[in-house]
Amino acid sequence: MPAPTLTLEQFTVCLKAGDVHLQADVSVPSHATGLVLFAHGSGSGRFSSRNRHVAHIFHEGGIGTVLADLLTEREEAVDAQTARLRFDIRLLGDRVVAITDWIAGQQQLAYLPLGYYGASTGAAAALKAAAVRASSVGAIVSRGGRPDLAGPALSRVIAPCLFIVGGLDLEVLRLNREAMEELPVDTRRRLELVPGATHLFEEPGALDTVARLARDWFQRHLHSRSETLN
């Protein structure tokens, strides 16, 4: 029996974030139960084939996505030379907050409970933004992230957090475990190891495992939040 056709509402926007404008691709499946904002990691963006693969698996699970560039083209060019901006967690966190506020102002998106999916340094930006917009964020997933870079903001994160780390990514595993201890005691948290995977989850099947773990986390927590709001 053929798989049902996936119906998506898709559009690209240019939104204001402080003094700059950022591009974002929005995709919302019919009967969506949640929306996830991607906070891209070092040197990545909304055109990343890896991020789009994960987004597709989210769509199949009834979860919409916002893939936004956290840096402008000019900033990307600077970062490619210096690798400085990708570690500017305050700047990236402010950009995530700005996109969150834009989503809240869109009638066709604001009704969906919101989650963050952060990779590498983007995970720190997502956590920092979640501390600022605590009432707006229903769940967070960090994939191979550097949550430690969120610093004191970790103590103000109340959304359920899933930390996914490659089983062979030992230093990042240590940093994730330490960061988890900085969350408030009543914040739900979980650590998932993907056996045999390294930092970028390039091994066969590793990224699919990440996507399914993240999708299930969002389905569980964003759907529950949606029911509460109703």
Tens of pLDDT, residues 103-155: 999 999 999 999 999 999 999 999 999 999 999 999 999 999 999 999 999 99
Q: What is the pLDDT of residue 42?
A: 63
| pTM across the whole model | 0.93
- At 107, give phi and psi (nearest 5°): -60, -35
Gap between the Cα atoms of 207 and 153, Å rounded: 28
Confidence band for 5, pLDDT divided at 50, 70 and 90: confident
Across the chain, what does the average pLDDT equal? 92
Q: What is the pLDDT of residue 78?
A: 86
- At 75, give phi and psi (nearest 5°): -65, -35
Q: What is the pLDDT of residue 1?
A: 44
Q: What is the pLDDT of residue 45?
A: 75
Residue 44 has pLDDT above 80, yes or no: no
Return the domain boundaries, the chain.
8-229
Per-residue H/E/C for the chain: CCCCCCCEEEEEEEEEECCEEEEEEEEEECCCCEEEEEECCCCCCCCCHHHHHHHHHHHHCCEEEEEECCCCHHHHHHHHHHCCHHHCHHHHHHHHHHHHHHHHCCCCCCCCCEEEEEECHHHHHHHHHHHHCHHHEEEEEEECCCHHHHHHHHHHCCCCEEEEEECCCHHHHHHHHHHHCCCCCCCCEEEEEECCCCCCCCCCCHHHHHHHHHHHHHHHHHHHHHHHHC
Q: What is the pLDDT of residue 73?
A: 87
Gap between the Cα atoms of 172 and 120, Å rounded: 9
Span 219-225, average pLDDT: 77
Residue 225 has pLDDT above 70, yes or no: no
CATH number of 8-229: 3.40.50.1820
